[in-house]
Structure 1
Amino acid sequence: MASTAVELIKDLSTPAFVVDLDIVKRNASVMLARFQKLGVQLRPHMKTHKTLECADIMTGGSRRCIVVSTLAEASFFADHGYDDILYAYPLPFDKVERCAELSEKLSLFHVLVDSSLALQELKRRPLKQGKAWHVWMKLDCNNGRAGVPHAEPAALQLAQEISETEGVELTGIYAHCGNSYGSKGEEQIKAVAQETTTFTLQFVEKLKAVGVKGPKSSIGSTPSCSHPVPDMAMLSEVHPGNYIFYDVQQSLIGSCRLEDVAVRVLTRVIGHYPHKNQLLVDCGWTALSHDGGGRLPTGYAVIEGHPDIKLVSMTQEHGRVEPVSGKLDFSQFPLGSMLSLMPYHACATAVMHPVYYVHSKGKIVGTWKPTRGW
């Protein structure tokens, strides 16, 4: 963890992305313990933070069994001693060679397939040293983004085709319950988790019935893994990611409390405009993102300690802050004073920053530098 000359987050140049190390460690510990108790392997997703230091916390230092969403992430973690990496993204044909190189380099590198055409691409590039491709089939359990619909005959046909292909191993069945993001409260989250778990386990049983035995089962999303249902104990793995930081969106869904949100964007007041009843801050969308669409009562973020003001709009480098109602008391917000923004979506905000300032109780303990690219 790299050090910085500044000792306290209040003295940072803004805008700055700050990470509360104590909350990160707590979030990691809670999720790990939750699935250890269920007897299910936690395969944490790296896409939220994309840093080595946070990955070490999420894996308990094992440097094994992770999920990534880009090959840049996969290569970054492989170069730093990580193994058993699942590239959980429908196989891009232009990246087959890079996937092959990682498969040949690591003891375990997994790819995701949801079509026969993608499987044919793997067949055209047999691995060296007698290795087999480790393939997870993406199953769509009503999330609707990627994968073969679980109830369609094509799903079973593809799984059989993978299992029968020379040089390829059907390692597991992978489902993302992203539809849990439409939930409001624990009951709705658990309903989605139950549905996805049931469909995934039923599909594995269908495979056994036609002689395909052994594939693992994995589902994931931060909401479903924050409130798991008992049947999830029958899964092989789960793969949440956002939980390490959490965010305002997750608190609204019911995955967490605001106290569990580990990240903030710090910004300073740079302008007073009484004729517009408005403050200007040095946080635009390049420091926060436009995710959430400003739908919160406080606009694009929760402004910590100030429920009476809202971030109403942003341009590239500027943010406009107004009162929720009434006249703004400008004396509360002197020029140069700092505001702390809790992001709507931590993944989208984190990707805007080349460095994260990591602190414990406001004292900076280091910096994390995420990998970038695809």
Structure 2
Amino acid sequence: MEDSLPASIFDVETPCLLVDIDIVKKNCQTMIDRCKTMGVELRPHMKTHKTVEGAELMTNGTKRKIVVSTLDEAIFFADNGFEDILWGSPIVPGRISKRLINLCNKLEEFHVMVATLVGLEAILATPLNEGKKWSVFLEIDCGYGRTGCCWNSEEIISICEKIKQSNNMIFQGLYTHCGNSYSPDIETKNSIQQTTFDRLIDVKSKLSGLGLECKTVGCGSTPSCSKPIECLSNLTEMHPGNYIFYDYMQVLANSCDFEDIACKVATTVVDHKPEVQTLVVDCGWTAFGLDAPHDQFKDAPLGQAPIVDHPELRMFSMTQELGKLKAAEGEIDYSKYPLGSRLYLYPWHSCCTTCAHPFYYVHSGEKIVGKWRTTRGW
């Protein structure tokens, strides 16, 4: 039997992750409304929170049309009644496992992603149950340089010819992640969105000329979907994920404001070190993560997120279970932070921070109202 919940955010054991349910609901509804206004479907990404409760809010209660980053997530959400799931990570021969095949056979709509001819051929060589076909998205790299078939690559033609000849797959369309839209400069962000869109449409036209129609043309990242330019209304889907919680990096990327950040790490002051002007807390990298600022955020203060309601402090170093805080300017006034007092840290990157926690305490105002458990693993 699970222990009773702490009464308030001041009663939790630290370090722990706190999720403000009121901000979460606002963030989710805002994205739902934005996509509806734009006339595109929302396929939210689950990787930031990895919880049933968060997924229900992001899908507006439908429990349909989601993206996941791991096979574990796909199985977790399928077991909890979700359908129309895309595993947004490229298939290669070594990833076609019994778990994957079982999931394809179980769900009416489970989609995989290919980025190479090698990956496609691995699918072609793997039969499913009678009457079942692989449902396939082609991932396109529109300039981000992570995964995907380069938008102007000749390999796209080879992949599409193979798809046309196949009788064991259904082609869904194109998928791209514009992770390069994480930029603090609005003009740069808009230019990346426009280039990404133009290149996707170029690939779609090329495939149409080959007789292969794209039912879906999907693009997304939280910065682009939080501040989309007009052309994205011509997509069929958007698939952001981080917006459910946001974080300090999204603030710097002009995706949101501080009041939109829905999660924070509670920590306790455990030591004063005036001889080195340091305040020590019980939150190290095991509870906060070590995700460093991207190049475009290299000028972020000390490379770490600020402390809630304490702009005078900055986390500047972490060990496994301890964090070291210094004054943003001048010296620390230790009388403001008694031993045993609480501080709350904005995550630099909430996707990284949440993965450190097996559950989140959910609160409304100061009151703890629930506990969300995550899925973990791959």
TM-score, normalization by structure 1: 0.96
Structure 2 Cα separation of the partners of residues 210 and 113 of structure 1: 18
Aligned partner of 2:240 in structure 1 is: 240
Structure 2 Cα separation of the partners of residues 216 and 327 of structure 1: 56
Structure 1 Cα separation of the partners of residues 214 and 143 of structure 2: 24
Structure 2 Cα separation of the partners of residues 184 and 347 of structure 1: 19
Structure 2 Cα separation of the partners of residues 5 and 237 of structure 1: 39
User: Which residues of structure 2 form unaligned runs of 5+?
Assistant: none
Aligned partner of 1:250 in structure 2 is: 250
- The counterpart of 1:307, out of the listed 289, 311, 316, is 311
Opposite residue 201 of structure 1, the aligned amino acid is I
- Deviation, 1:295, is 6.1
Cα distance change on mapping 1:367 and 1:331 into 2, 3 Å = same
- After the TM superposition, which residues 46-125 of structure 1 pair with which residues of structure 2 at under 5 Å, given as runs? 46-97=46-97, 98-125=99-126
- The counterpart of 1:346, out of the listed 321, 345, 350, is 350
- Structure 2 SS opposite 1:267: strand
Do the aligned partners of 1:3 and 1:366 also contact (CA within 8 Å) in 2? no
- Structure 1 SS opposite 2:251: helix
Aligned partner of 2:375 in structure 1 is: 371
Structure 1 Cα separation of the partners of residues 277 and 83 of structure 2: 54
- Deviation, 1:187, is 2.7
Q: Does 1:357 align with 2:373?
A: no
Deviations 1:120-139 (A, max 9, x none): 21122111121110000110
Do the aligned partners of 1:299 and 1:313 also contact (CA within 8 Å) in 2? no
User: Which residues of structure 1 form unaligned runs of 5+?
Assistant: none
Opposite residue 304 of structure 1, the aligned amino acid is V
Opposite residue 261 of structure 2, the aligned amino acid is V
Structure 2 Cα separation of the partners of residues 205 and 299 of structure 1: 42
Do the aligned partners of 2:113 and 2:137 also contact (CA within 8 Å) in 1? yes
Do the aligned partners of 2:117 and 2:155 also contact (CA within 8 Å) in 1? no
- The counterpart of 2:326, out of the listed 322, 338, 358, is 322
Deviations 1:38-81 (A, max 9, x none): 11110000000000000000001101100001000000000010
Aligned partner of 1:201 in structure 2 is: 201
Do the aligned partners of 1:204 and 1:215 also contact (CA within 8 Å) in 2? no
Aligned partner of 2:174 in structure 1 is: 173
Structure 2 Cα separation of the partners of residues 300 and 254 of structure 1: 17
Opposite residue 136 of structure 2, the aligned amino acid is V
List, as ranges, runs of 4+ consecutive aligned residues in structure 1 with deviation greater than 3 Å: 293-296
Question: Percent of aligned positions with the same letter in both sequences?
Answer: 44
Do the aligned partners of 1:298 and 1:309 also contact (CA within 8 Å) in 2? no
Structure 1 Cα separation of the partners of residues 50 and 178 of structure 2: 21
- Structure 2 SS opposite 1:111: strand
Structure 2 Cα separation of the partners of residues 298 and 96 of structure 1: 42
Cα distance change on mapping 1:173 and 1:214 into 2, 3 Å = closer
Deviations 1:86-142 (A, max 9, x none): 001011433313222111100000000011111121122111121110000110100
Structure 1 Cα separation of the partners of residues 216 and 69 of structure 2: 19
Aligned partner of 1:140 in structure 2 is: 141
Opposite residue 17 of structure 1, the aligned amino acid is L
- Deviation, 1:316, is 0.1
Opposite residue 118 of structure 2, the aligned amino acid is L
Deviations 1:192-218 (A, max 9, x none): 111111111221111111211243110
Structure 1 Cα separation of the partners of residues 30 and 160 of structure 2: 34
- Deviation, 1:298, is 5.3
Structure 1 Cα separation of the partners of residues 130 and 220 of structure 2: 33
- Structure 1 SS opposite 2:272: strand
Opposite residue 276 of structure 1, the aligned amino acid is V
Aligned partner of 1:271 in structure 2 is: 271
Do the aligned partners of 2:92 and 2:122 also contact (CA within 8 Å) in 1? no
Aligned partner of 1:154 in structure 2 is: 155
Do the aligned partners of 2:117 and 2:158 also contact (CA within 8 Å) in 1? no
Do the aligned partners of 1:4 and 1:366 also contact (CA within 8 Å) in 2? no
Structure 2 Cα separation of the partners of residues 34 and 265 of structure 1: 29
Aligned residues: 372
Structure 1 Cα separation of the partners of residues 101 and 64 of structure 2: 19
Cα distance change on mapping 1:157 and 1:320 into 2, 3 Å = same
Deviations 1:335-359 (A, max 9, x none): 0011110011000000000110000
TM-score, normalization by structure 2: 0.95
CA RMSD of aligned residues (A): 1.5
Structure 2 Cα separation of the partners of residues 335 and 295 of structure 1: 31
Deviations 1:290-343 (A, max 9, x none): 112596325522111111111110000011111122221110000001111001
- Structure 1 SS opposite 2:310: coil
Opposite residue 122 of structure 2, the aligned amino acid is E
Structure 2 Cα separation of the partners of residues 146 and 211 of structure 1: 25
- Deviation, 1:148, is 0.9
Opposite residue 203 of structure 1, the aligned amino acid is V
- Structure 1 SS opposite 2:67: strand
Cα distance change on mapping 1:152 and 1:99 into 2, 3 Å = same
Structure 1 Cα separation of the partners of residues 107 and 321 of structure 2: 42
Deviations 1:143-173 (A, max 9, x none): 1001111012222331232232120121111
Aligned partner of 2:215 in structure 1 is: 215
Q: Does 1:332 align with 2:336?
A: yes
Opposite residue 130 of structure 1, the aligned amino acid is G
- Deviation, 1:3, is 7.8
Structure 1 Cα separation of the partners of residues 368 and 185 of structure 2: 35
Cα distance change on mapping 1:318 and 1:26 into 2, 3 Å = same
Do the aligned partners of 1:322 and 1:328 also contact (CA within 8 Å) in 2? yes
Structure 2 Cα separation of the partners of residues 119 and 305 of structure 1: 51
